[in-house]
């Protein structure tokens, strides 16, 4: 209840701190702009103006903040900034970050939730501390400031020692999650950060350093990064940085290198990141396969699973966990692994798994799937499974993300940065990796060399097939024009195409705000058929194979009730000409490629409908790219 009452619950805020070679404000604003994709509703910046803080905050876009910043004089070479995403009321300039402490000595930006903020606030108020916002973040800041003041006055500590002691003291009192950065008027040459549950990374530059929630923030300025772990505190100057634990034990840092270029995180000539990422899928799929086939090409291989084939042979069951689109990829993995490797697979929403305490067989292998590697529900589910002693592997796109660093091994997607909130290339690559895993597990069990070779060959053809599907973009844009005015859509698919129908419906909901439902085609007659009318178009997947005729019969049922049908098929001339209002033809291929292939027209349809409806495709309302609070 406390949490529900809070006015500054943060979903996936962006944090950027900079120090010191150049003027800070343009660099910080550029960093915030790069973090816009995470979803936010207000932005703020704390700069130095002579010896004082100057804090500017604006609701709406980073652009509003930039215009405001231009009106002021500030040439300081350090600062902190933030994009805020509020879930409960309070989208206001006051509630935006950074906050300033009641004695004007400290400024802080926070990502996360302080659960016991109300109690701490009452105690501080009783001691004379005043508050200007209703946020939990300001409570944490004022607690640090209160302890800092005491350290200076009572213990006569130097400012740096006092601040770090106060920070540690405050963090030991709070319950919840945080990724914070702060500055202090007494220490203009430092920015300080700490994390527990919310990501924080140091960007190590040339006489300039960064502290940010995401490497994208400084991707144009340095590729050298140090990922902080939970329970670590970083002290960063323009030329150096130190990391310690909460108990003040020094940590020797590992400097990693970002593998992608700044252009990968820019839109180029595309009107939206989503469209760019849809068209990047042949390359994303290609990258997911690089170096991952055996020399004899009869199986897949993975360098990072950290589990010997002998041990894998003991696995009786696999549990896949994920959220949103990644959960749909889990369902694809279930279908493929059960079919080809004959290993029973279960799929659970990560958020449900964490609190369900479901019984797991001792020989269960757990997999988490997450594009960002930061989704808190998935991270906590992973931690819960690890706590119980299960080995957890991950399929993750973001190298250095918390999920990737904490799991016991896994597969990196190498899809490049995905900026559009609606996941596209990351999803298709997750499906493709699931297919490669099914081949790997199958070849370890009963699949023959010849069958393995055939599947490996089929998988390698995927990028070309996806390029062919992308060539349907103009046709799909026309279809979108015709149907964009509808407010309800049904998506139908059977067997492995059922999760693709779910994903198609989710994409449309996410970016077009259209009510859409995904169902297994045969289930339509058990309820959803009541929705069929000329006002409710159905996107029906009908691929060749055992159930092709049954899928056609389902389409007939819709047509008989005057429901418009957009069919997606690989049947060529075998698809009856007049059965559907629109027919999107895809190339015929092995089933292992169906998930990414059929996703293409689904993604394009959602994209073009959203554009027709003038929706903000890359920053859909109410959504965040990655959700880091429960
Ligand atoms: C958020 C996004 C979804 C995404 C889900 C899981 O809810 O809005 O689009 O599918 O998180 O994200 P992940 O990074 O774990 O794959």
Mean pLDDT score of the chain: 92
Q: Which residues contact 216 (CB under 8 A, 6 or more apart)?
A: 34, 35, 37, 265, 417, 419
Host H or E run for residue 449 = helix 449-460
pLDDT for residue 629: 65
Closest ligand 1 atom to 426 CA: 16
Burial-class residue 153 by CB neighbours within 10 Å (0-12, 13-18, 19+).
exposed
pLDDT exceeds cutoff 60 at 601:
yes
* pLDDT tens digits along 265-319: 888 889 999 999 999 999 999 999 999 999 999 999 999 999 988 898 899 999 9
pLDDT for residue 10: 39
Q: Per-domain residue ranges for the chain?
A: 2-258, 261-460, 471-617
Domain spanning 261-460, CATH architecture:
3-Layer(aba) Sandwich (3.40)
pLDDT for residue 16: 96
The span from the CA of 337 to the CA of 447, in Å, is 12
13 flagged as catalytic = yes
pLDDT for residue 6: 38
625 flagged as catalytic = yes
Tell me which of 220 and 205 has the higher pLDDT. Answer: 205
Closest ligand 1 atom to 326 CA: 16
Beta bridge partners of 106: 184
Inter-CA distances, 184 with 150, 359, 522, Å: 15, 50, 63
CATH match for 471-617 among 1.20.1250.20, 3.40.50.10490, 2.170.190.11, 3.40.605.10:
3.40.50.10490
Rounded mean pLDDT of 379-388? 96
User: Sorting pLDDT into bands at 50, 70 and 90, what band is 414?
Assistant: very high
pLDDT for residue 118: 93
The model's pTM: 0.83
Give the E-state strand segments of 170-316 in sequence order. Answer: 176-184, 191-196, 201-204, 208-212, 224-227, 232-236, 241-245, 250-251, 256-257
Rounded mean pLDDT of 483-502? 97
The span from the CA of 346 to the CA of 248, in Å, is 43
Closest ligand 1 atom to 322 CA: 15
* pLDDT tens digits along 26-66: 999 999 998 887 778 899 999 987 788 999 999 988 999 99
Rounded mean pLDDT of 134-160? 93
Rounded mean pLDDT of 130-139? 91
Rounded mean pLDDT of 86-98? 75
* pLDDT tens digits along 518-559: 999 988 889 888 889 999 999 999 999 989 999 999 999 999
The span from the CA of 420 to the CA of 400, in Å, is 20
Residue where the block lists tokens 């007494």? 186
471-617 has the same fold as 261-460: yes
pLDDT for residue 5: 30
pLDDT for residue 12: 65
CA of 443 to the centre of ligand 1 (A): 31
- Nearest C-alpha to atom 3 of ligand 1 is from which residue? 324
pLDDT exceeds cutoff 70 at 606:
yes
Identify the residues whose C-beta falls under 6 Å from ligand 1.
323-326, 370-372, 375, 378, 421, 423, 623-627
* pLDDT tens digits along 10-28: 346 899 999 988 899 999 9
CA of 279 to the centre of ligand 1 (A): 20
Hey, what are 257's tokens?
């290198």
CATH number of 2-258: 3.60.20.10
């Amino acid at each position: 209840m406390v949490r529900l009452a809070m006015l500054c619950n943060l979903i996936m805020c962006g944090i950027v701190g900079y120090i010191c070679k150049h003027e800070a404000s343009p660099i910080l604003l550029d960093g915030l702009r790069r973090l816009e994709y995470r979803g936010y509703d207000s932005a703020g910046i704390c700069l130095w103006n002579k010896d004082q803080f100057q804090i500017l905050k604006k609701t709406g876009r980073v652009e509003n903040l930039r215009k405001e910043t231009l009106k002021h004089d500030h040439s300081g070479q350090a600062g902190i900034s933030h994009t805020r995403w509020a879930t409960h009321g309070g989208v206001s300039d006051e509630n935006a970050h950074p906050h300033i402490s009641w004695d004007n000595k400290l400024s802080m930006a926070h990502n996360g939730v302080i659960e016991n903020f109300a109690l701490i606030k009452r105690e501080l108020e009783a001691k004379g501390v005043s508050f200007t916002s209703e946020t939990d973040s300001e409570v944490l800041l004022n607690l640090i400031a209160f302890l800092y003041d005491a350290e200076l006055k009572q213990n006569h500590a130097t400012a740096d020692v006092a601040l770090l002691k106060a920070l540690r003291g405050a963090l030991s009192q709070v319950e919840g999650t945080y990724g914070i950065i702060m500055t202090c008027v007494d220490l203009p040459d430092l920015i300080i950060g700490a994390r527990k549950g919310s990501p924080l990374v140091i960007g190590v530059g040339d006489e300039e350093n960064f502290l940010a929630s995401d490497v994208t923030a400084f991707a144009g300025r340095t590729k050298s990064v140090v990922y902080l772990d939970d329970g670590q505190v970083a002290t960063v100057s323009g030329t150096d940085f130190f990391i310690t634990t909460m108990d003040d034990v020094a940590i020797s840092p590992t400097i990693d290198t970002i593998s992608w270029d700044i252009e990968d995180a820019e839109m180029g000539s595309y009107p939206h990141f989503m469209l760019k990422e849809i068209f990047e899928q042949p390359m994303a799929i290609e990258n997911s396969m690089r170096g991952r086939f055996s020399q004899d090409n009869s199986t897949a291989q993975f360098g990072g699973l950290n589990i010997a084939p002998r041990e894998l042979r003991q696995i009786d069951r696999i549990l896949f966990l994920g959220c949103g689109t990644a959960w749909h990829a889990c369902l694809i993995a279930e279908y493929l692994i059960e079919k080809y490797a004959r290993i029973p697979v279960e799929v659970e929403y990560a958020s449900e798994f964490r609190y369900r305490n479901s019984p797991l067989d001792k020989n269960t292998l757990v997999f988490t799937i997450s594009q960002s590697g930061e989704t808190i529900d998935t991270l906590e589910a992973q931690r819960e499974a690890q706590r119980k002693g299960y080995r957890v592997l991950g399929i993750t796109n973001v190298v250095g993300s918390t999920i990737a660093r904490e799991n016991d091994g896994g597969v990196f997607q190498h899809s490049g940065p995905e900026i559009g909130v609606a996941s596209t290339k990351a999803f298709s690559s997750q499906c493709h990796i699931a297919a490669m895993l099914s081949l790997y597990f199958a070849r370890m069990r009963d699949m023959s060399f010849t069958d393995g070779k055939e599947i490996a060959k089929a998988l390698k053809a995927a990028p070309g097939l996806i390029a062919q599907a992308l060539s349907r973009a103009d046709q799909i844009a026309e279809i979108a024009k015709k149907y964009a005015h509808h407010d309800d859509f049904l998506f139908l698919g059977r067997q492995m195409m059922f999760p693709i129908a779910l994903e198609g419906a989710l994409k449309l909901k996410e970016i077009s705000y259209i009510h859409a439902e995904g169902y297994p085609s045969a289930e339509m007659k058990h309820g959803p058929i009541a929705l069929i009318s000329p006002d409710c178009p159905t996107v029906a997947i009908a691929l060749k194979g055992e159930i092709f005729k049954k899928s056609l019969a389902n389409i007939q049922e819709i047509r008989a009730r005057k429901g418009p049908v957009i069919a997606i098929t690989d049947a060529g001339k075998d698809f009856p000409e007049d059965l559907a209002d629109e027919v999107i033809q895809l190339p015929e291929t092995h089933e292992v490629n169906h998930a990414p292939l059929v996703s293409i027209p689904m993604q394009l349809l959602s994209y073009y409908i959203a554009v027709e409806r003038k929706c903000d495709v890359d920053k859909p309302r109410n959504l965040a790219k990655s959700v880091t609070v429960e």
